[in-house]
Amino acid sequence: MPIPTPRATLTLRFVSMLLLCVLLGRAFATVPPGKAEAFDQLAGQLERGEIAPDNQADMLKVLQQVKGLVPPGDARRELRYRYLFCILGMDASPAEGIAYADQGLADARRIGYVEAEVNFHFCRGSNQESLTTSRDALVDYDAGIALARRHENTRLVADGLTWRGSVQSLLGEHALALVDFLEAQKFYETSGAPIESEQNLFNIAVAYRRLGESAQARDYLDKLLALGEQRHDRAQQLAAHMQLGFLDSDVGEQASAESHLHKALALARAVENRSQEAGIHLGLAQVDNQQGRYAQALEELALAQPGFARTGDRSNRDMVLLQTAKAHAGLGLHDQAIAEYAQAETLLQQSGNLRYLAELLDARARSYQALNRLEPEVTDLRRLVKVREALDRKAHSDNATLMNYQFQTAQRDQESRRLAADRALKEQQLQSLEHVRRWQRVALVLGGVLILMLLWLAARQFRRSRKLHRLAMTDPLTGIANRRHIEELARRALGDARAQGESLCVLVLDVDHFKSVNDAFGHAVGDQVLVRIAQACRQVLRRFDLLGRMGGEEFLIVLPDTSLDVALQIAERLRRKLESLPLGNLAPGLEVTASVGAAEADHESDDLPELIRRADTAMYRAKDAGRNRVETLAARASVV
């Protein structure tokens, strides 16, 4: 799904922007109290989201009222108005926005106004996102968060976490983004900030969507859409419809995605949000490409570009080029598409978005294939395999990050309970000093209960730690060993075989054309196919054979105490088993085959990476020879 522009992402959180300011309002004896109080009241309502105009013109009117209430000579309230305008009202180019924020930073530092300095960092970062890339904005967001932490301003820390989390989500660091959003949510929920809490749910929903947790994302977005309709909040309805459209497109429900995006487009026009309008046209272009409406996709892209150009937003150039290239390829203009793919690739490499780089490589390989240019096609396909492996590693890393966050949260909660219990015990001890004889036995009993409770908590934590360790070694989809675990098991088996002088073979099994399964039947069916393949492999393999998933549709099988001849027989049984695997109940006409590469360990020269490399090379030989076959590097290794 196309990423909304950074400025569009901010507008997606249109009401959420209102929470990114601070409760300030300091009273000064040198300014007229009536005017100062009126300023603080109106500015505070804007900051808390109690006043939330749903179009730019009305927002500017409110900001003009705020400006009119600034007491003469009040430098702090003047700066407070300026950062409100910088975040909520500025409709200039990103370069002008950065210059405005730089001046605000200088003035805030000059008078020692920390809250304003933090907010100008956030404003500068939001404009930097649109001027260059989202990654470049992290410098300002990190600086603002660090400054807020030093001054123990938890509200500003929470606001900064939502800014930084949005960028991390755009860059593919979805687990880190979700951790930031959840930490911010803790503050909003415990500090009585219902509007900020509700709007941060959008951020959490988007992070879940980009992590592939579509059920959780949809649950959040449906609730937020219902609340927006109940309150007649068009900005919230716009954000919810837009994200639901992206979500439906991600899971292959293009008709529903198109419906949501058209509703979002009508709302964006109603509230005069041109940057959002451009992002929606980009989203509709991708939906059109997915459904083969290539000419219509080009029309949507033509509508998107003026909106991006008007706001000076250059951050979506990669996605515009990618979708333009895919539309031209669909129309048979492959040479033009390849040139556009090259431009998009340069921008995607700058942003570091592996997900869309994989999409580009796959699409460009198809164009090379259509032009019968075999060498660049193979080059792109090989790069695609590596990018997908990196994405798989990133997915595992995200899971580890979330599990670590949950583990640390549980530890902090346990520590809080322990400290609370300790305080309760001390209070009991102080009371017992006043009534020694009467309360001594009660204090001892309470101490015993506390010890038992702590022992129980420690035992439960130990069991939880073991469970987390077990999950970290297992592929969450198929239930077999993950890459790290299978490589560890293989390394041990190779060492044992070398020490005992026994033979050992490895097989690398890769499902043929698995991308086409996902494209034709959806990722949910593709996941079930991988589960069935893992189950089928277990049925064929022997009790002491080792099976693991290396990532994507590639599996590694370790065969201890097995000669190459026997390994080839096992590989052939695996190939035949998968070829005949009944998958019709998942999708009519669905069949899969696999290419298998085999290699036997040479104890004189092989380490595990070299052994797997030879098996992997053999597997690619099977791919090049027509797929659905077994190959080995040895002279006798060809089995069809």
Within this chain, do residues 495 and 625 fall inside the same structural domain, yes or no?
yes
- Asked whether residue 91 is assigned to any structural domain, the reply reads yes
Is pLDDT above 80 for 421? no
Whether 582 contacts 530, CB under 8 Å: no
The mean-pLDDT minimum among 166-180, 234-248, 321-335 falls in: 166-180
Q: What would the pLDDT profile of 138-197 be if each residue is shown by its tens digit?
A: 999 999 999 999 998 888 899 999 999 988 887 778 888 888 998 888 888 887 777 778
Within this chain, do residues 403 and 535 fall inside the same structural domain, yes or no?
no
- Asked whether residue 77 is assigned to any structural domain, the reply reads yes
Question: Which pLDDT does position 354 carry in this prediction?
Answer: 84
Q: What is the mean pLDDT of residues 551-574?
A: 95
**CB-count burial class (<10 Å; 0-12, 13-18, 19+) for 410:** middle
Q: Residue 152 carries which DSSP code?
A: T
What whole-number distance in Å separates Cα of residue 42 and Cα of residue 36? 10
- Asked whether residue 143 is assigned to any structural domain, the reply reads yes
Question: Which pLDDT does position 438 carry in this prediction?
Answer: 74
Whether 592 contacts 581, CB under 8 Å: yes
Domain of residue 186: give its range: 1-240
- Asked whether residue 118 is assigned to any structural domain, the reply reads yes
Within this chain, do residues 501 and 590 fall inside the same structural domain, yes or no?
yes
Mean pLDDT estimate for the chain: 85
Within this chain, do residues 516 and 421 fall inside the same structural domain, yes or no?
no
How is residue 152 written in tokens?
Answer: 């123990």
How many domains does one find in the chain?
3
Using alpha carbons, select from 339, 292, 298, 352 the residue that is nearest to residue 3.
352
Within this chain, do residues 453 and 522 fall inside the same structural domain, yes or no?
no
- Strands 594-600 and 630-632 come out as parallel
Question: Which pLDDT does position 250 carry in this prediction?
Answer: 86
Q: What would the pLDDT profile of 66-123 be if each residue is shown by its tens digit?
A: 999 999 999 999 999 999 999 888 877 889 999 999 999 999 999 999 999 999 999 9
Within this chain, do residues 84 and 131 fall inside the same structural domain, yes or no?
yes
| Percent of the chain's residues with pLDDT above 70 | 90
Question: Which pLDDT does position 427 carry in this prediction?
Answer: 80
Q: What is the mean pLDDT of residues 439-456?
A: 76
Would the pTM of this model clear 0.85, i.e. be above it? no
**Domain CATH code at residue 624:** 3.30.70.270
How is residue 521 written in tokens?
Answer: 């039947």
Within this chain, do residues 57 and 178 fall inside the same structural domain, yes or no?
yes
Within this chain, do residues 468 and 571 fall inside the same structural domain, yes or no?
no
How is residue 143 written in tokens?
Answer: 């600086």
Is pLDDT above 50 for 41? yes
Within this chain, do residues 507 and 408 fall inside the same structural domain, yes or no?
no
Amino acid letter, 85: F
Within this chain, do residues 61 and 84 fall inside the same structural domain, yes or no?
yes
- Asked whether residue 341 is assigned to any structural domain, the reply reads no
Which of 449, 472, 495 is at the close of a domain?
472
Question: Which pLDDT does position 426 carry in this prediction?
Answer: 79
Q: Which of 121-125, 419-423, 430-434, 444-448 has the highest mean pLDDT?
A: 121-125
**Domain CATH code at residue 48:** 1.25.40.10
Within this chain, do residues 465 and 488 fall inside the same structural domain, yes or no?
no
Quickly tell me which residue has 């696999």 as its tokens. 594
Within this chain, do residues 37 and 144 fall inside the same structural domain, yes or no?
yes
b/e per residue, 118-138, with b = 16+ CB within 10 A? Answer: bbbbbbbbbbbbbbbbbbbbb
Which of 240, 255, 279 is at the close of a domain?
240
- Asked whether residue 313 is assigned to any structural domain, the reply reads no
Which of 472, 503, 532 is at the close of a domain?
472
- Asked whether residue 619 is assigned to any structural domain, the reply reads yes
Q: What would the pLDDT profile of 578-615 be if each residue is shown by its tens digit?
A: 999 999 999 998 999 999 999 999 888 889 999 999 99
- Asked whether residue 201 is assigned to any structural domain, the reply reads yes
